[in-house]
Amino acid sequence: MLALVLGLVMSLALTQIFITSKSTWLSQTSSASLQEDARFVLAKMVQEIRLVGMFGCLGSVRDASLGGGFSSAFLAPVQWDSGLKSLTLVTAPVGTDRSWHDWVVHTDCASSATAWSRGRAPRLDAGEFALPVQRLVYRFNEQRGELTLDGQPLLSNVREFSLLFGVADSADASGVARYTARPEPKLIRSVRLTLTLFDPADRTQEQSFNVVATLRNRVG
C-alpha cells in the first residue's frame, strides 16, 4: 500500500511538472509569435514611411496622370484618419520588385519631372529616369481585430493600432519638437507607430510594440 501511495504521489508530481512545463512553453511560443508578427509588419511600414514623398530631385512635378490624382498625393503623401484608423502612404516601392505602382515620375533631376498613371507613361527621353510611386492604405478594423493593407488582411489578433506625428517647430527646423495626431504636413519629421497584439487562446498577455520612423523627404 505504501509503495502504491508513493507511486501515485510521484505520478501526480510528474504530471503537474509536465502540465506546468507545457503551459510555460505555450506561453513563450505565443509571445514569440506575437513579437515576430509585430516585427514583420512594423519593419515593412517603417521602410515605406521613410520613403514617403520620394518624387525625385525637384520641388514640383507636372501632373499628367488620369484625373489629376497625383496632385493630391503629392501635397499630402502621409495621412492619418483617426476615426477610420486609416493610414495612407504615398511612397516609393520597397525592395527590388517595382512592378506594382500607381504612378511613375519621369525626371532628369535638373529641369523637368512629370507624373504619369501606371501603364500610360511614354518612353523615357534622353537623360530621364523613372521613379515608381505607389499609394498604400493601412486600416485597422476594430470589430474584427484585423489590420488590412489596401483592403486585404495583413495581420490578425490586433487590439489597437495608432500613431502620432513627430513635428518640428517650423518648416526650416529639422528636429522633432513634439508629437501630435493632427500635424501640418510641412512640419512632419517622423511617425511613431503603436501596435498592440493579443493571443486569441489567452496563453500570454497582450503586448504593445512601438517604433519611430523618420521621413527622409520633406512633405507639404
- The per-residue pLDDT for range 99-129, each reduced to its tens digit, is 688 999 999 999 999 999 998 999 999 999 9
Gap between the Cα atoms of 46 and 215, Å rounded: 9
CB 197 within 8 A of CB 38: yes
Between 47-56, 87-96, 131-140, 199-208, the lowest mean confidence (pLDDT) is in: 87-96
Identify the CA nearest to 126 among candidates 109, 148, 108, 111: 108
Band (14; pLDDT cuts 50, 70, 90): low
- How high is the pLDDT of residue 219? 78
Gap between the Cα atoms of 104 and 152, Å rounded: 24
* pLDDT tens for each residue of 188-199: 999 999 999 999
CB 121 within 8 A of CB 104: yes
pTM: 0.86
Gap between the Cα atoms of 211 and 217, Å rounded: 19
Residues paired with 212 in a beta bridge: 192
- How high is the pLDDT of residue 70? 93
* Torsion angle (degrees, nearest 10) of CA 57, 86, 155, 218: 20
* pLDDT tens for each residue of 69-102: 999 889 889 999 999 999 999 999 876 566 688 9
Q: What is the mean pLDDT of the chain?
A: 88
Gap between the Cα atoms of 220 and 74, Å rounded: 8
- How high is the pLDDT of residue 195? 97
Tell me the three cell numbers of residue 3.
509503495
pLDDT above 80: residue 10: no
Gap between the Cα atoms of 172 and 189, Å rounded: 11
Share of the chain residues as helix, strand and coil, in percent rounded to the nearest 5: 30, 35, 35
- Comparing 7 with 113, the larger pLDDT belongs to 113
- How high is the pLDDT of residue 58? 86
φ/ψ of residue 115, rounded to 5: -100, 130
Between 31-45, 88-102, 132-146, 184-198, the lowest mean confidence (pLDDT) is in: 88-102
pLDDT above 90: residue 157: yes
The whole-number average pLDDT for the span 33-42 is 94
Q: Are strands 152-156 and 146-149 parallel, antiparallel or unpaired?
A: antiparallel
The whole-number average pLDDT for the span 182-190 is 91
- Alpha carbon 190 to chain centroid distance? 13
Residue 159 DSSP code: E
User: How far apart, in Å, are the Cα atoms of 140 and each of 94, 164, 179?
Assistant: 22, 15, 21
CB 65 within 8 A of CB 115: yes
